[in-house]
């Protein structure tokens, strides 16, 4: 059993897509093991996206991620890291398949509605970044 960090980004929350996205997660039989609505400050967002700090899109990404509330979720299931990335679709909604969250709901390569960890190592870092052990149920 594996865990991943999922985020419904500010565009998803603002567009009223929380329920739709969680419905897709539950429909897949994936367990929500932790969940919290919060507003990220710049320090939190910069620390979370530290690996991207030297990318040209970094400052704009931090503006976007701090522009409104987000929903943080720890998802649990078999191969959930790759499973959730399949449900999200490609980073660029224009390249994401129909039926994927980003393909169906994303605006552009930045405003792409959801986040998902890309490896077991980053999943552990990202879940611990936002959740205390006692806020995860098993």
CA distance 9 to 108: 13
> For ligand CDP, which residue of 115, 126, 127, 130 counts as binding (CB under 6 A)?
115
| Total binding residues toward ligand CDP, as defined by CB under 6 A | 9
Q: Decide: is 92 part of the binding site for Mg ion (CB under 5 A).
A: no
Residue 115 designated active-site: yes
Q: Decide: is 118 part of the binding site for Mg ion (CB under 5 A).
A: yes
Among residues 101, 115, 117, 127, which one is catalytic? 115
Q: Decide: is 20 part of the binding site for ligand CDP (CB under 6 A).
A: no
Whether the Cβ atoms of residue 106 and residue 90 lie closer than 8 Å to each other: no
Q: Decide: is 4 part of the binding site for ligand CDP (CB under 6 A).
A: no
By DSSP bridging, strand 2-8 and strand 114-116 are antiparallel
Q: Decide: is 109 part of the binding site for ligand CDP (CB under 6 A).
A: yes
Q: Write the burial class of residue 82 (CB in 10 Å: 0-12 exposed, 13-18 middle, 19+ buried).
A: middle
* 108 token code pair: 């552009």
Whether the Cβ atoms of residue 65 and residue 12 lie closer than 8 Å to each other: no
Residues that bind ligand CDP (CB under 6 A): 52, 57, 61, 91, 109-110, 112, 115, 118
Catalytic positions are 115
């Amino acid at each position: 059993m594996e865990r991943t960090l999922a985020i419904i980004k500010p565009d998803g929350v603002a567009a009223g897509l929380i329920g739709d996205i969680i419905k897709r997660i539950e429909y897949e039989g994936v367990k929500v093991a932790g969940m919290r609505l919060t507003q990220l400050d710049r320090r939190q967002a910069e620390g979370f996206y530290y690996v991207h700090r030297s990318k040209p899109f970094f400052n704009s990404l931090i503006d976007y991620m701090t522009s409104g509330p987000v929903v943080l979720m720890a998802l649990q299931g078999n191969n959930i890291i790759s499973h959730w990335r399949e449900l999200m679709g490609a980073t660029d909604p224009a390249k994401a398949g129909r039926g994927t969250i980003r393909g169906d709901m994303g605006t552009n390569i930045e405003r792409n509605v959801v986040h998902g960890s890309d490896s077991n190592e980053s999943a552990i870092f990202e879940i611990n970044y936002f959740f205390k052990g006692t806020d995860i149920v098993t």
